[in-house]
A and B are shown apart, each in its own frame.
Chain A
Amino acid sequence: MRDFAHRALDTALARGASYADVRVMDIRQRYLSTRNGQPAQVRESESFGLGVRVIAAGAWGFAATDDLTRPGVERTAAQAVTIARASALCKQHDVRLAPEERIVDRWESPCRIDPFAVSVSACLDLLLRVDAELRKVRGVTLAEASMDFRRLEQLFVSSLGSEIQQVKTQTGAGFVATSFQANEIQRRSYPNSFGGQYQTKGYELVEGLELVANARRIAEEAVALHDADQCPSGVRDLILGSAQLGLQIHESIGHPIELDRVLGAEANYAGMSFLTLEKLGRLKYASDIVNVVADATPAHGPGLGTFAYDDEGVPAQATPIIREGLFVGYLTSRETAAAVDQPRSNGTMRAEGWNRIPLIRMTNVSLLPGKGTLEDLIASTADGIYMDTNRSWSIDDRRYNFQFGTEIGWEIRGGKITRMLKNPTYAGITTDFWNSCDAIGGPECWTLWGTPNCGKGQPMQTMGTGHGASPARFRQVQVGVAYKD
């Protein structure tokens, strides 16, 4: 790795780059799934390559290859410089980067049980036991379970003299029970939808999820939803479970605080943000009890946004985003930090792989815990709905008008759950919604969720992000609007 990286770096500088960084990545993945009693996918992949990012003639260029021979690496580095010079044909001004220090370090994410050392047979056996539990419940028409393991080994070198090695191990697992009945499809997932829970951990994550123990309950809920009442349409107090709140944070706080989006870099595709620059330090984003951080440091927990250094060689940081309801921070890169005259990037640039440029990505954007339990929230709610586990999510291209659907809901009357509700949806305007938050659960019900499928950029990049949340209550929210005819 090291020889390839330095060969590319030297070539780029010799060709006239004023700045260059090189990432060599070796990515290994194993994905296992079962479906109605049979293995569905059993596959492994490895991907090894190198990406060279340069500034030449004051503009950016990037080239990537998996031809890791001396001629291949030199050709790719030279191509990056050629591309940068072409970019300069349309530049308004030279690229300027916030200063950064030279770093030489190695970091490996904690991993108690190497998931690649756990036998495939044992993994499939566990998934098939979950599958069998799900299909014991009459009415379940499709049982699905999966495990996903990734190991990313990366060497970053830059013309600042930095040389950073990082090894990250990520694990995900979960299951879904689907029930078709009377022209209706209902689905329940555990511990979260879209693959379950994901963290920067080893197989110990799977062992802690208690997949088999929860299978029967989840399957019964999927079937029971057919007989549940439709979520009413109107305005209600709303309690969101921590998994659903994790995605709410992702869409309505995490994306709008990306400074590249604010500055227009994503205008053609992922969109921009309502959080224009004059709002920093002035906008009352949320109620006084809301505190949100973007924290990539290992101290925050093993989230999918946890690392030691970002893909520009900037150390992981904990950045306040919302402090007592006030908007106080963006996610930045070296280029965007310089553009708004901030002294340093807060370290959020990440690339999906060796063949993609780093972009500003959410790290672990988390809502800090308040007090009490979910039961306390319910007990202090006179007339409301509790919703959890995402089923659909949509937000406009400025991240302001949102609508979410969840797999399941429960009506709350007089501080007690009174009935199950099916097809729950809620909608709102980002700042109105967050300003209506009047209760947040405590550390005992706070979970650091992983969102493995966040898309951004062209070519599209998929990235894992982390979102810590406890259940929380929001007053007088529009519910049931999606099914209102």
Chain B
Amino acid sequence: MTFTRQRAEEIFEKVLKYSTADETEAIITSTSYALTRFANNTIHQNVSEESATLSVRVVMDRRTARASTNKFDEASIRRACEATTKLARLQPPDPDLLSMPGPQTYRGVDRHYPETVGLTPEVRAEIIRKVIARAATDKLTAAGVFSSGASAGALFNSRGLSAYHEETIAEFSVTMLGESSAGWAKQTSPNSMELAPIALADRAARKALESREPREILPGKYTVILEPAAVLDLLGFLFMDFGGLAVDEKRSCLTGRLGQKVFGENINVRDDVYHPLQSGPPFDGEGMPRQRVTLIERGVVKNLVFARQSARKMGTEPTGHGFPLPNEMGEAPMNIVMEGNRSSMEDMIGSTARGLLVTRLWYIREVDPYQKILTGMTRDGTFWIEDGAVRYGVKNLRFNQSALTMLGQVEMLSPPQRTSGEESFDMVVPAMKVREFNFSSVTKH
């Protein structure tokens, strides 16, 4: 059971009672979460967790610090307040540190579904049993997760700011393993009723079957069709660079590129927590209201996002994208929505003379921070396309590809969809067809 707003307010009242600082902030989070994991056609891990955290930050004489506890008795709350104050006093003043913000107004978002809260381990097990049966019909082996949970987060400060958000999340992902191949599919939603585990299992099974006995192709530059999960995992390495502090500190690939046409004409990206397919609270780590921000418009880097402190430093307004203070990263857009177009997967495949269809990417890492060269591997369903049709599965390939260059070589886009990968947070992104995607080697196993 997660904390209600009233329960969180009661805790904050105790924080205020014990804090002697000029300004005091409390972030109170609580989680109820369960996850069932299966592999080798059996449930092998099955867990649940109930937890809550109180995190207190103070500001005094241009000093700030944070202390957190998961104990909510009076003595522990008092100790957290005293520890925070002591930590703040022991450091030199920061002339740029701001006072806490006052009361804010938020646009409501409704992301809490009783159906998700009520999902039991028995129901998860029953659905997984059906997925395992689906695997057995094609002599495949199933592995995956089915999870559900609820969380509540409150942010209060002594200047009167009061923010509260609760939401639910459910996830189903499945890998189907054959003798020489694998297929994967995944879906997340705040509403567990929107998940389609059997359809996902069927999709993963078809990928495993269609990529049996994969052939080895030579590394090189190929036209690729990236399914939305592959697009998401690549884009995830780009958007931390849209933080104002990252640019100010010259650690962003957008340093010196703001206002320039860095990407193709067909690339349009915004950050939009209010999009119906998005998740998350309508406020940031300081309690500032999240705003919609256009990041890329027709290939041009239009805007960055700003926390209060970096906005002040760079002479602009905060956009509500800051992380809880104190932090080192500043801010980042966390609700990415990339516009797509009308092309279907069939259109993209049908228009490809020679190329690759990529289901999923794996172990992506940044090789070069300014050119934004990324490396990683394909995984769980990589196919050769020839003369407008998928022909056969291929062995997994390693890529070394600049994300900046890639987004200048996008030829077709599908409509965007809520997408979940494994290397980045959920986004709303399309599938895309990209020319001259650079593969540097092929796996030998």
Task: Enumerate chain A interface residues (CB-CB to B < 8 A).
Answer: 33, 35-36, 38-49, 59-67, 76, 79-80, 82-84, 86-87, 89-93, 119-121, 124, 128, 141-142, 144, 178, 180, 183-185, 187, 263-269, 271, 274, 355-357, 391-398, 400-401, 403, 405, 423, 425, 427, 429, 458-459, 481-485
Contacts and interface: CB of A to CB of B under 8 A. Distances in A.
Given A124-B91, A265-B44, A397-B377, A87 B36 contact: yes
A83 B48 contact: yes
A25 to B, nearest CB: 11
Contacts of A268: 37, 39, 143-145, 173-175, 184
Contacts of A64: 47-51
Contact of A393 (B48, B70, B94, B365): B365
A88 to B, nearest CB: 8
Contacts of B52: 66
Given A392-B375, A394-B363, A398-B445, A43 B65 contact: yes
Interface residues of B, number: 93
B443 A398 contact: yes
A183 B83 CA distance: 43
Interface string B394-408: 001010100000000
A67 B69 CA distance: 13
Given A60-B45, A64-B47, A90-B41, 20 more contacts: A39-B92, A40-B328, A46-B71, A82-B121, A83-B47, A89-B126, A180-B370, A183-B370, A185-B370, A265-B44, A267-B39, A268-B37, A269-B422, A394-B377, A396-B377, A396-B398, A397-B379, A401-B377, A401-B398, A403-B398
B251 A39 contact: no
Nearest to A122: B90
**Which secondary structure characterizes the binding site on chain B?**
strand
A264 B141 contact: yes
28 contacts: A42-B88, A44-B87, A45-B68, A49-B51, A62-B46, A62-B47, A63-B48, A63-B49, A64-B49, A65-B49, A65-B51, A80-B48, A89-B43, A90-B43, A90-B125, A92-B40, A178-B249, A178-B250, A178-B251, A183-B256, A183-B370, A185-B368, A264-B40, A264-B141, A268-B173, A271-B362, A396-B362, A401-B443
B373 interface: yes
Contacts of A429: 444
A400 B444 CA distance: 8
A87 B44 CA distance: 8
B204 to A, nearest CB: 10
B225 interface: no
Interface string B268-281: 00000000000000
B373 A483 contact: yes
A271 to B, nearest CB: 7
A399 to B, nearest CB: 9
A459 B33 contact: yes
Contacts of B141: 264, 267
A425 B373 CA distance: 12
A153 to B, nearest CB: 14
Interface string B78-108: 0000010011101110101000000000000
